[in-house]
Amino acid sequence: MGKRQLPGAYHLAVSTAYIALTSLIAFWLRKIVNRFFPENTLAKMLILELIAAGELCACCFELVIVADNFGIGTYAIFLFLLTIWWSLNWGDASACPYTHLEEVVEGNVNVLVAGAKIFAEMAGGLLIFKYIQFLWQLEISSTHKGRAFEKCSADLQVPAVLGAVIEGIATCLCRLASRAIGEVGPKYAVAYDSFVGTSLVVAAFDYSGGYFNPVLASALKFGCKGHTASEHVFVYWIGACTGAILSVFLYQNSMMKGIINRFKPKVD
């Protein structure tokens, strides 16, 4: 029996091509939506959230292949670059439920609108697997062999309570950093934001998977062997959303505001 050939440049190129294809499709879908919906209506916002969630989950499905075959370092580089791309192209869409819960807490959006956006994101995240399954079925690369119908396993490697704490704290830190960077407005703010998010994902990767996004976690791992449905919801929905909502109140704290003001450019 011959030795199994280790994945090389060709296999990484296939994964890169799949991610690029997905990003390009989503890019043009947004162009079409903006063309037919010039006004910022609720319908337009829901469609854009659906597209963003689909793009996010499709790319992250492929990032699983990258991480499994090329290691966490390569995965981190891809995630860092993709996060910058998403920040520059998604507009007001977030593909993340807790951002809408934050807006509800802040009084900027009503519960019904937030719920509709979350539903659209869930739809985008869950429906996109058929697209990924089609790409993987082609088995252009050996790294995709058997993956289209393979039973998945959970990324949660710690007890559910600890997993929820990890997802919650990391989400809170990520949201605080994102808000602070947005307010201070440094040069290359998008890159700084992406670096913080990617670093936190890598730090939590071997414990909870480092999802920090309920839709992403459910699209990739709900129903997988290794945790129950209730544990999944507790860790990736309740944990992350609690952390995000906590960040809203922490950010309004006078001490936090004082720290942020130190980094703001002085106005003459």
Q: From 218, 257, 258, select the one nearest 237 (Cα to Cα).
A: 218
Question: Alpha carbon 148 to chain centroid distance?
Answer: 21
Output the pLDDT for position 7: 81
pLDDT tens-digit readout, 63-80:
999 999 999 999 999 999
* CA pair distance 263, 261, nearest whole angstrom: 5
Output the pLDDT for position 3: 47
Output the pLDDT for position 1: 38
The set of residues, in sequence order, having a beta carbon less than 8 Å from that of 193 and lying 6+ positions away, is: 83, 87, 177, 178, 181, 182
Per the structure block, which two tokens stand in for 109? 């959006």
Amino acid identity at 214: P
Per the structure block, which two tokens stand in for 29? 């879908």
* CA pair distance 205, 76, nearest whole angstrom: 10
Q: Report, as ranges of residue numbers, the positions in the chain whose pLDDT lies below 50.
A: 1-4
Per the structure block, which two tokens stand in for 251? 């950010």
Instruction: Write down all domains in the chain, each with its CATH number in brackets.
Output: 8-94+110-150 (no CATH), 154-263 (1.20.1080.10)
Are 139 and 210 spatial neighbours (Cβ–Cβ below 8 Å)?
Answer: no
From residue 158, alpha-carbon distances to 24, 64, 164, 245 in Å are 37, 19, 10, 23
Positive or negative CA dihedral for 119, 65, 232, 246? negative
Question: Alpha carbon 99 to chain centroid distance?
Answer: 12
Output the pLDDT for position 262: 81
Helices (H) and strands (E) in the chain — how many of each? 11, 0
Supply the Cα-derived Rg of the chain in whole angstroms: 19
From residue 194, alpha-carbon distances to 40, 171, 253 in Å are 27, 13, 24
pLDDT tens-digit readout, 86-126:
999 999 999 999 999 999 999 999 999 999 999 999 999 99
